[in-house]
Amino acid sequence: MPNPTSRHSKSRRDKRRANWKLSQPVTVLCPECQEPTLSHRVCQSCGTYKGKKIIEVVEKEL
Ligand SMILES: [Zn+2]
């Protein structure tokens, strides 16, 4: 049966688990409002994508 013959060391296990991190989301400057926004997404501050108005941006009340 294909089974591991010896278990991996704690060091090897921990090195594997140390190797995950969140990456910074890719942001681009919106060509309409120059705000940083996620690429290939509708801009959250002006609601446009590829020069077209897609959504109405509603100001959030705090
Ligand atoms: Zn924008």
* Inside any domain, residue 1: no
The answer, as to whether pTM is greater than 0.85, is no
Ligand 1 centre to CA of 47 (Å) is: 6
**Cβ–Cβ under 8 Å, residues 45 and 39:** no
* Inside any domain, residue 57: yes
* Inside any domain, residue 10: no
Tally the domains of the chain.
1
* Inside any domain, residue 62: yes
* Inside any domain, residue 5: no
41 HSE (CA, 13 A, CB side): 13
CA distances from 24 to 1, 21, 38, 46, 59 (A): 43, 10, 11, 22, 26
* Inside any domain, residue 12: no
pLDDT digits (tens, 9 = 90+) for 9-58: 999 999 999 988 888 888 999 988 898 999 999 998 888 998 888 888 78
Partners of 28 in the β-ladder: 37
Structural domain containing residue 41: 24-62
Ligand 1 centre to CA of 60 (Å) is: 16
* Inside any domain, residue 36: yes
